[in-house]
Structure 1
Amino acid sequence: MNLHSREFDTPKDRDEAADLLGRLRAWAESASPEEVADLDPGLALLVTGQSGSYPALKRAYPEDFTIDDAYKAQMPDLQNGPSSLIRGAKRAIQHVGISNFRLPVRYHTRDNGDLMLETSVTGTVSLDAEKKGINMSRIIRTFYDRAERTFSFDVMEETLDAYKENLESFDARLQMKLSFPVRKDSLRSGLSGYQYYDIALEVIDRDGVRTKVIHLDYVYSSTCPCSLELSEHARQQRGQLATPHSQRSVARLSVVVEDGQTLWFEDLVDLCRQAVPTETQVMVKREDEQAFAELNAANPIFVEDAVRLFAQGCQADPRIGDFRVVASHQESLHSHDAVSVLTEGTTFEGASLEPRLFGTLIHGG
């Protein structure tokens, strides 16, 4: 039943109001929650002392419930709310979006093969100072709309266009990280195995200008030239057996691909191998281990040498524009690492070092 206050006189004083409330609560004790809600949902807390302003709620999941456009239209959407809902400084945000959204993506290889590889996606857009937020699921939905196609920078740009339009943003960035397998032969035994390369593709849209970047981590062994010479000195002068120190090292090459150019992942791997040939091995027998020791002795290298050799390879490739080389030699002599950064052009310039930059260059077994 529904009762309306207009049928009753207003209580004369507090005592009369308390008496009416007591009678109402006495009735509520014998009534069902549905009857209390039917009386007036807004009075449920007053009458029953329930925690909350809603009547008793259903606890079973409504499997048969469906929604229509009218229902969706009335659902709250705080992210697209007015600027009055903004908390903190009303400033434009350079990047907001999703990170490590994973899905299988097809990649085309240099030898016309296709690989389906798990890919981690980061997608961000800019946000105007007067906007509360974005619908992040739109980034994922936009990406899934194109996920079945063979991926290239062209498809990434198409995806970027779509979610810039959907989210009405002025700048955007899309990055895909993957582990790319390349078959590598051993040095002397004839064995072969897969070397995996951490690669990231990035498309940056800023002030209407598009930039395409490939990031590659290359893992190699570095033999210290100083230690090599000191070891040979001990052998020659004192007949003392000594070994130079060498260590696993990592270089991260970030290269801008020039407009209209195609730079295959395998091309960038070949560039690294030619610059610093002491890449860590996959399949090794005794003859390979001996060959690797000889290869390291033939190519002793400081970290300064490493970044300059990689830079020389980048400068010689007309498909590569701006670039950055970050190298870390994780030394067996010292309890610290030897590091170096070399940049070309304005794309990767920066006065500040990201605090964990070199720490991300550690590749565990």
Structure 2
Amino acid sequence: MHSHENTARLMPDVATQAQPHLAGALDWVGMDGIEVPVRFDAGDGEAQRASAQVGAFVNLGRSDKRGIHMSRLYLLVDRYLSAQTLGADMLRALLGEFLSSHEGLADRARISIRFEHLVRRAALRSANSGWRAYPVSIEASLGADGFRLELGTEVVYSSTCPASAALSRQLIQEQFAKDFSADGPVDHAAVLAWLGSEQGIVATPHAQRSVARLLVRLADGAAFDLIGTLDRVEQALGTPVQTAVKREDEQAFALANGGNLMFCEDAARRIQKALDADPRIADFHVRLEHQESLHPHDAVAYASKGVPGGYGVPV
């Protein structure tokens, strides 16, 4: 009876057979959608386990070789990601093994990891809290230009339109002029009751759910700090979506919207300023989408750090 090793050696491997009529170097070859558990420390010192989708790739620089060793990539992904917490050093070592396992075939390696990370968020005023699931994408590459590590996520928030707010205030002023004569005294109690009525507040500004999609390139030696990045962005915006909401929390959210009127351009500049002040971030790219309630198309803005040769304007 043959051993497993001997049986494997006898099996045909057509991937090693050259096809001269189809010769050519390939940018990337590998697998996407690999299902694997990962452990991720979002910056609070607690590694949380999640189910991830992973893409593993190397380039195929040898035009005379038909394919790569995909099973080697898969086994390396399983060995590293199942056992170790995600980090820059670990990913650099993993990509190094991608290349070692394809010596003579490849000189560039890349991995992408996608999952969701749960963060507990406190309510605005009540003593309650709830969970928010933030999407996380990690992209790492290794090649002649060195090691590169990127972190992507998104923040969902409310945006109240400044133009709509101004138009609403004008209508309220006009209604006040109709209901209260300029010639006689104004009764304080009557005005107070009027301000609390639907007849007095005849218009309200429109607001919409909005999304900021972030991609940051970490500086050399910087550790993952998802929570720190989220906190910076959410504090800059002032109106991130909430989890547990009692009436006092909803009122506080309404107050926050009133104090943070913003066009998509305003939101983009707020985030740009917040991320630019973070020394752990070498470069960033942000796409903001205000999903309008006034019309069926969205208002969109982009921002970046402006690093020469960096993300810049997206395609």
Fold shared per TM-score above 0.5: yes
The Cα shift of 1:321 comes to: 0.8
2:115 is aligned to 178
1:165 is aligned to 100
1:198 to 123, 132, 135: 135
2:219 and 2:109 map into 1 onto residues whose CA distance is 19
Match status 1:136 vs 2:136: no
What letter is aligned with 1:78? V
What letter is aligned with 1:140? Y
The Cα shift of 1:210 comes to: 1.1
Contact 2:87–2:223 under 8 Å retained in 1:
no
1:219 is aligned to 156
Q: Deviations over 1:210-233 (max 9, x none)?
A: 111111111111111111111111
The Cα shift of 1:189 comes to: 1.7
Runs of 4 or more consecutive aligned structure 1 residues displaced over 6 Å after TM superposition: none
Matched length: 285
Contact 2:233–2:275 under 8 Å retained in 1:
no
2:50 is aligned to 117
Q: 1:66 to 1:196 in 2, by over 3 A?
A: farther
1:258 is aligned to 219
Q: 1:110 to 1:69 in 2, by over 3 A?
A: closer
Contact 1:180–1:196 under 8 Å retained in 2:
yes
Contact 1:263–1:319 under 8 Å retained in 2:
no
1:73 is aligned to 9
Q: 1:67 to 1:333 in 2, by over 3 A?
A: farther
Q: Give the TM-score taking structure 1 as reference length.
A: 0.74
Match status 1:231 vs 2:168: yes
The Cα shift of 1:85 comes to: 6.5
> Helix, strand or coil: the match of 2:101?
helix
2:17 and 2:314 map into 1 onto residues whose CA distance is 37
Structure with greater Cα Rg:
1
1:350 and 1:96 map into 2 onto residues whose CA distance is 27
Q: Give the TM-score taking structure 2 as reference length.
A: 0.85
Contact 1:189–1:288 under 8 Å retained in 2:
yes
Could you tell me which runs of 5 or more consecutive residues in structure 2 were left unpaired when the two chains were aligned: 177-200
Q: Deviations over 1:285-315 (max 9, x none)?
A: 1111111111111001111111111111111
1:17 is aligned to none
Map 1:41-80 to 2 at 5 A. Answer: 68-80=4-16
1:327 and 1:206 map into 2 onto residues whose CA distance is 31
Question: Relative contact order: is structure 1 or structure 2 higher (C-alpha 8 Å, sep ≥ 6)?
Answer: 2
Instruction: Write 1 or 2 for the structure with the bigger share of strand.
Output: 2
Map 1:8-23 to 2 at 5 A. Answer: none
> Helix, strand or coil: the match of 1:187?
coil
Q: Percent identity?
A: 35
The Cα shift of 1:351 comes to: 5.8
The Cα shift of 1:66 comes to: 6.7
The Cα shift of 1:149 comes to: 1.6
Contact 2:206–2:293 under 8 Å retained in 1:
yes
Match status 1:154 vs 2:117: no
The Cα shift of 1:350 comes to: 5.4
> Helix, strand or coil: the match of 1:145?
helix
1:183 and 1:144 map into 2 onto residues whose CA distance is 29
1:307 and 1:261 map into 2 onto residues whose CA distance is 24
2:206 is aligned to 245
The Cα shift of 1:79 comes to: 2.2
The Cα shift of 1:114 comes to: 2.3
Q: Deviations over 1:47-75 (max 9, x none)?
A: xxxxxxxxxxxxxxxxxx97643432232
1:106 and 1:68 map into 2 onto residues whose CA distance is 33
What letter is aligned with 2:166? E
TM-align CA RMSD: 1.9
2:314 and 2:274 map into 1 onto residues whose CA distance is 25
Could you tell me which runs of 5 or more consecutive residues in structure 1 were left unpaired when the two chains were aligned: 1-64, 353-365
1:278 to 225, 239, 254: 239
2:162 and 2:65 map into 1 onto residues whose CA distance is 57
Contact 2:87–2:224 under 8 Å retained in 1:
no
